[in-house]
């Protein structure tokens, strides 16, 4: 799943428009126009398609966190990651939406997908930890599908 696919899926799952997405990214210190967001949401091959970089997807997710949870107490804005793994995307969504394990499992159940508590915890461990597990694309995709069904 490309960053553009992830952004497109999250837009529908969270029921937000291009202007709101641009505002969220702007909260991380980068002015973004709704037309830029529109180009990121286009499918590969369409006129005006623009590839979404990992740092910009990270900025959107950090903006979503700021939108849903508020700014950090010290007012600082996190630096975007150069490489954004599926684990990081899942972690940032969990933070933004203030989800607990039970909430996440309920979302996975919406997509008819089973993730054990131990497996879910392994996705949030630090890389290098003996119980760390890389989050497969299918897991992230099913989570977003569950979010879409939950918000419908």
Structure tokens at 14: 């969270």
Q: What is the pLDDT of residue 75?
A: 85
Report the length, in residues, of the chain. Answer: 152
Q: What is the pLDDT of residue 150?
A: 85
Q: What is the pLDDT of residue 97?
A: 96
Q: Is 151 within 8 Å of 20 (Cβ atoms)? A: no
Q: What is the CA radius of gyration of the chain?
A: 15
Distance from C-alpha of 135 to C-alpha of 119, rounded to nearest angstrom: 9
- Condensed to tens digits (0 to 9), the pLDDT of residues 89-128 reads 999 999 999 999 999 999 999 999 999 999 999 999 999 9
In the predicted model, residues of the chain with pLDDT beneath 50 are none
Q: What is the pLDDT of residue 1?
A: 87
CA dist list (Å): 49 to 15, 43, 61, 120: 21, 7, 21, 34
Q: How do the domains of the chain map onto residue ranges?
A: 3-69, 86-151
Q: What is the pLDDT of residue 129?
A: 95
């Amino acid at each position: 799943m490309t960053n553009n696919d992830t952004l497109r899926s999250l837009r529908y799952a969270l029921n937000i428009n291009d202007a709101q997405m641009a505002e969220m990214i702007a909260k991380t210190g980068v002015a973004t126009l709704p037309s830029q967001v529109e180009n990121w949401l286009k499918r590969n091959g369409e006129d005006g398609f623009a590839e979404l970089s990992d740092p910009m997807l990270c900025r959107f997710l950090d903006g979503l966190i700021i939108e849903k949870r508020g700014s950090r107490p010290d007012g600082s804005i996190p630096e975007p990651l150069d490489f954004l793994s599926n684990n990081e995307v899942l972690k940032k969504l969990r933070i933004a939406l203030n989800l607990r394990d039970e909430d996440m499992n309920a979302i996975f159940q919406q997509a008819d997908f089973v993730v054990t508590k131990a497996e879910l915890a392994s996705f949030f461990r630090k890389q290098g930890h003996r119980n760390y597990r890389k989050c497969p694309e299918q897991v992230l995709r099913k989570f977003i599908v569950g979010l879409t069904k939950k918000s419908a």
